[in-house]
Structure 1
Amino acid sequence: MNSRIKKIINKLRSKATVTIILLSSVIFSCTDVVDVAVPTEASRLVIEASLDWEKGTSGNDQTIKLSLTTPFFDTALDPVVGASVSVENVTNGEVYVFEDQQDGRYTISDFEPIVNNVYNLEIIYNDETYIAQETLIPVPEINRIEQSRIGGSDEEELDLTIYFDDPENETNFYYATFLEGDDLFPLRVVVSDEFTNGNEVSIFYEENEADAEDEILPGDMVDINLYGISELYYDFLHILIEQSDNVGDPFATIPTRLRGNFINLQNPDNYAFGFFRVTEVVNQVYTFVEQEN
């Protein structure tokens, strides 16, 4: 090999070495930590005030939970203590004072639920008063529960339908939850009687397609709750469920900040998150049985 060829080869080797060094620098520079600035704002009050009266019980024991919003990456709740919490039955003037348990829970053991009565919730915290109003809506009994393998997205898997009678000449709204097995969150469904007034209403349930590996099998149990709800709460839940179902959908509309029915009397801009509801609820637990296709 003559000297000229050797020089050319050495130059090529030098260029290759430089290229490798440069590529290595780029690759290793990608391991640098990038700090992402997450927008923050002042904490807001979060109110979990669901006064649910299960059919067949007294409904005397009720709990309201208060907490503050926390930064995005925080996992621990920030419970609120020292607030004043009371509920007034506007229809008969009875006032119920909830006791502070010093952990964010405010409880009472002598609440009296009366269907079609109007209730006002008042919370005083940090010298600001939050109020909300709801009517205790009754709910019909569940007539029957039927399971099948037809009608769903997969005709090889079990599903069920609940049936109940809608009262005539009334405008009614319903909220149903289905919690199966070890699922962390229930399936939520809201229904109005706009097209079924005075008739038997059905609500269908099947396992979420995203949990295909966890199909319903004979012996599995599903906890069913059916609530009678107000139109305002129906609208709130409808938006909440729609936004939850659209998570991860690139074509979905941009979620809006969902506000409940609380009003801050002193500072309306400092509104609270959550919704005050007063409902009657019927609960049933259904066990799936073996069924042929």
Structure 2
Amino acid sequence: MKKQFWLVMLIFCGCIDPYVVEVPAGPQYLTVEGLITTQNGPHQIRLTRGDTYGSIFEGLIRPVRSATVIIRDDLGEVTFLEENLDNRGSYLTPVNFRAEVGRSYTLQIQLIEGEVYTSLPEKVLPTPPIKKLSYQSVTVPVEGELNPASGVQLIVDIDDPAEEDNFYFWRNGPATYVLETRPDLYFTPPPGRAPAPKDCCFICYQTEVTGNQSIFIAQDDNFNGLSTQIPVAFIPDNGRRFVDTYRVDLRQINVSREAYRFLRLVKQQSEISGSVFDPPPANIRGNMISLDNPDEVVLGYFMAGGEVKERIYINGAQLDFRQPQAIIPDDCRVVEGSKLNPPADWNP
């Protein structure tokens, strides 16, 4: 009887069909991300569409390909952008293109299907110079961990002009650092897995674009016409970046009041922690509109602003706190983005 009972149970348990989630197709919003500044190009405009998802997580963000993208200024001059075939959906200005202070710029897009979109005009405002760029170590306690998370915070000193309202936006440019590895600890891959130390190479130079984990912005309501210090970037310590020397370019951009408002709302949404005091999540409308359907929701923002850059070298030995060095038991040249020789303008 027991054998018959278990046989019946196995028959019933073996006939369970998989449950497939059926998600109705939702709106696929066009998203526009772009920034032009007074620095030389190429400047990038990124076009994507969001997608719905269900049982199979595919195509959540899809590039918009083969669009016609132009930038027009208030004098009627038109600049055509070319799509980057190695990164579809990204459209680049010519290398010698740069915005001019006082000019207004409009982004215009025609998709391959024929839909036409335009931005509202964005006026380019001058950017005060960076008086000083410095750095300091920052540690962040991690619950349940003895070793805190850490990184380096960049700080700018600026003399804010009194005669105008300024809306600051900071971004990290490309970074390069000394990468140290241990080829003497290399092991052959399985199944052999035996010591096989390599003769070269211990030290390389790695280039990366880290961006910022948060949006760093400020308006001069509280320091208009004054000298001030502002934290403008945070670079996480991953056990590699600050073993020796780290170099990064900081971009300081003066954006419009409307662009600042957009960035502030995006920052609030990105820092939602799940508290009852958090603002409700929502689609944040930018300055892009459809000329075919004014009611269509278009996400993102086309920005234009004056820009200044400042380069800084960070000496890892001078930091108050560093993460334990991450050991890479291999030739440093096999690490993606690394080169044996430093950049031509490397000058710590």
Normalising by structure 2, report the TM-score: 0.62
1:131–1:265 CA contact under 8 A, matched in 2: yes
**Distance between the aligned counterparts of 2:275 and 2:21, measured in 1?**
22
1:261 Cα deviation from its structure 2 partner:
0.6
Q: Cα distance, 1:200 vs. partner?
A: 1.8
List aligned pairs for 1:111-150, cutoff 5 A: 111-125=97-111, 126-132=113-119, 133-148=121-136
Question: Structure 1 residue 183: deviation in Å?
Answer: 7.9
Q: Match for residue 324 of structure 2?
A: none
Which residue pairs with 2:191 in the alignment? none
| Deviations 1:239-283 (CA, angstroms, capped at 9, x unpaired) | 11111111x424323211112110112202223222111122223
SS at match of 1:267: coil
How far apart in 2 are the matches of 1:275 and 1:159?
27
CA contact (8 A) 2:129 2:158 kept: yes
Structure 2: runs of 5 or more not aligned: 142-149, 178-207, 321-348
Q: 1:170 deviation in Å? A: 0.5
Percent identical among aligned pairs is 24
Q: 1:202 to 1:35 in 2, by over 3 A?
A: farther
Output the aligned Cα RMSD.
Answer: 3.7
1:13 maps to which residue? none
1:178 deviation in Å?
Answer: 4.5
Matched, 1:53 2:47: no
Distance 1:145 1:82 in 2: 41
Q: Could you tell me which residue of structure 1 aligns to residue 267 of structure 2?
A: 241
- What's the secondary structure of 1:288's corresponding residue? strand
* 2:227 matches 1:200: yes
- CA–CA separation in structure 2 for the residues paired with 1:62 and 1:228: 16
Deviations 1:27-50 (A, max 9, x none): x89x98554454541323222221
Matched residues, number: 263
* Cα pair 1:128 1:267 within 8 Å, conserved: no
Residues 130-166 of structure 1 show CA distances to partners (whole Å, capped at 9, x for unaligned) of 111211122122111233459x878x97544211121
Sort the Cα spacing of 1:98 and 1:157 in 2 relative to 1 into closer, same or farther, 3 A. closer
Find the counterpart in structure 2 of residue 14 from structure 1. Answer: none
Matched residue type, 1:67 = T
Instruction: Name the residue aligned to 1:44.
Output: 29
Distance 1:64 1:35, change over 3 A: same
Out of 63, 79, 92, which is 2:44 matched to?
A: 63
- Determine the structure 2 residue equivalent to 1:190: 217
| Structure 2 letter corresponding to 1:51 | I
Judged with a 3 Å threshold, the aligned counterparts in structure 2 of structure 1 residues 39 and 177 are, in CA distance, closer, same or farther, namely farther
CA distance in structure 1 between the aligned counterparts of 2:169 and 2:292, rounded to whole angstroms: 33
Structure with higher Rg: it is: 1
**Alpha-carbon distance between aligned partners in 1 of 2:281 and 2:288, rounded to the nearest angstrom:** 20
> 1:195 and 1:100, CA in 2 relative to 1: closer, same or farther beyond 3 A?
same
Classify the secondary structure of the residue corresponding to 2:245: coil
